[in-house]
Amino acid sequence: MGVLGAVLLVGLAFSPSHRGRPRALGSRAPAAVRQLAAPFASASKADQGATDGAWFEGLRSGVRRGLRNISDGEPGQRGEAYVGVQLLALILVVFGDLPGLPLLRLLHLILGPLCVSSGCVLVALAAFRLGSNLSPWPVPVAENVLQTTGAYAWCRHPMYVGLLVLALGCATMAQSVPRALVTVCLGLCLRAQALVEERRLRERHAKVWDSYAASTPRFIPAAFARLPLERVQRAWSGDRSQ
């Protein structure tokens, strides 16, 4: 009996009974019909099982490949900052706020005063170390003496760092986005001023300055050199030799 015969027998099995209800292909169907329909049902279940198995295996393989790609590369050198900014922007766009942000807002009561006090101390230490060399201009005074100790042993421009930290603390305490943007502009201005000052100091002190600049970072203190901030330091200073 071919496929056509099997189809006809299955149709008879579902034909209306004397009560007018369809009769399911189950225990009330003739044994011959069940026997003929069994291969088709088995094949259908086997195909469905194979499809489900292939889909699950593909999903599992994709997850393993994704985890392998995430762990690939050297931490801190894979552009995590870009991905972090993207995720932060997406969260803000979707939710309009950061989860737990009300709790984070309380940190301004700690971070703000801490940054302000730290910035003031750093500026005072740098000014004290400069002494008679202190000037509001980026061009060194005529009788300039290169300072390499005290606060200037931490970085080449501790006063600029102190001013920037002080401004950041004020913006944090005020919880003001405009002030934070102004702080970024201040940082760019201080960086440009530092480049002018360093060029004049190199002209004045030659090899002594080169030796000092090679061993002392421009902005971020050397104590943080082994932290992930090292990449930020290099990008900010523009000095690949650090």
Mean pLDDT, contiguous 10-residue spans, the chain (242 residues): 47 48 48 55 57 74 77 74 78 63 70 93 93 88 90 93 94 86 92 93 92 90 56 51 42
73 within a domain of the structure (yes/no): no
> How far apart, in whole angstroms, are the C-alpha atoms of residue 181 and residue 141?
32
On whether both 147 and 231 belong to a single domain, the answer is yes
Assess whether 43 and 107 both reside in one domain. Answer: no
- Asked whether residue 174 is domain-assigned, the answer is yes
Q: What is the pTM of this model?
A: 0.56
Cα torsion at 122, 127, 129, 130 (round to 10°)? 140
pLDDT given for residue 32 in this prediction: 56
| 169 and 125 fall within a common domain | yes
pLDDT reported for residue 58? 78
Q: How many domains does the chain have?
A: 2
Q: What is the pLDDT of residue 66?
A: 74
* Residue span of the structural domain in which 130 resides: 102-237
Domain identity same for 127 and 202: yes
pLDDT at 194: 93
The shares of helix, strand and coil residues in the chain, as percent rounded to the nearest 5, are 70, 0, 30
H helix intervals, 71-138: 80-95, 101-105, 108-130
Residue range 57-82, pLDDT digits in tens: 778 787 887 777 777 777 777 777 77
